[in-house]
Structure 1
Amino acid sequence: MDSSSPAQGAARSADLAALDVRITGCRACPRLVAWREEVAATKRAAFADQTYWGRPVPGFGPPDAPLLVVGLAPAAHGGNRTGRMFTGDRSGDVLYAALHDIGLASRGTSVRADDGLELYGVRVTSPVHCAPPANKPTPGERDTCRPWLVRELGLLRPTLRAVVVLGAFGWQAALPALTEAGWAVPRPRPAFAHGARVTLVRRPEPDAPGTGPASAELFGCFHVSQRNTFTGRLTPAMLRQVLATAAESAGLPTRSPWTS
């Protein structure tokens, strides 16, 4: 399963389903492997009766999504427990509530991998697929994991029209991945900011000219971390606004029932 080489595993993945399977078998970063497995074995008291996933967490959403949301990494007792991105923790509840509010998710909560949640035209992923200690991957771990994100972006190229990046770490990881996947990122590289918007021009593919959108819009948004949402640095209205704007640029229909 190419467990020690994300670059080889990513290159051998013909579609997103194959990529997701290979991601779950990755053991390329010893510190992350040890941590995610330790958490899965010791558990949190509230989840002591549950079997933790304890592996890398793949992306979630349709393989032809025109909108991609990029986070940071799975939470130790969220995605690392449930096996699905932003599932089983408060950050996920904030994100999926916003997606549901604007009509891009079938429900506003994400409790477990088999809870029936569906995403409409949007896929959720992260630049690091293993839960890191203290929610802080190292730059080396980010770079080791990058081939998975590059391949995911490449497989989404025929439909991808907008990318929302949650937080500065994800932004710093996404820019080089987007470059490797075939988009021209402006120079100097744009700085992260909430509400930032950058147009990325797609470089032509010699073997598939004219396929897919000619450009994609990149959006910055504060991360849906508890620290940001509890302090009000990121409010539900702020998150909905960024997601709705990105969805509009991706050509997705949205609804706006909220008043604040």
Structure 2
Amino acid sequence: MSGHSKWHNIQKTKGAADAKRSQAFTKIAREMIVAVKQGGSGDPNNNSRLATVIAKARAVNMPNDNIKRTIEKAMGSGNADNFETVTYEGYGPSGVAIIVDALTDNRNRTAPEVRHLLDKYGKGLGATGCVSWSFDQKGVIVIEKEDLDEDTVMMDALDAGAEDMSSEGDCFEITTTPDAFGSVLEAMEAKGYSFVNAAVEMVPQNYVKLESEEDVKNMEKLIDLLEENDDVQNVWHNWDQD
């Protein structure tokens, strides 16, 4: 993948991620529970969705004990957690495309909250499919450059089955198909690489630059408030932050 990357400033990104790590663990745990229930198995070898979530958890340094406890909880007969996946699409300031992935046990709570934020800080909630057509689903693996040799990393990634790799600021960004994400991540981990981020993401086909300070302020506020919502798992957008 070429072009803008939200991971171009690793130090800034890592700082923000560290501040939200506890919240991230909670959201990943919820995602893990859903993966176990929908896949009918707590074994990632037999549940590809669970394997993807575990890879995401490890990329943000979620402790193995937490992962194990969450899977055991999901497999327990007494577990009454009942979340469903809901996706909302809409527009931010100046028409920035936004996709909000949520896991909720109450649509009647989540939908009004998402709609309110999009109405207040953006251009509002749209119909299903209104912006998702301009995104591609990709596995995205981010590695800090440090003293790594670019050619070596690229060859390792391509040999593992990656589609492409790009150099973005102080990181390498590896992209895969969603199906190949888990195997590529496992192969790169086996070669000793550590990751800043690893997840299946919605990658924009093009980006929108915000020109006014007010639009930038509103977009930042919108993203922050959506991400702070307990039901929201991911916020994807095509705002060019460079």
The structure having more radius of gyration, on CA atoms, is: 2
The TM-score normalised by the length of structure 2 is 0.25
TM-score by length of 1: 0.24
Larger strand share, 1 or 2 = 2
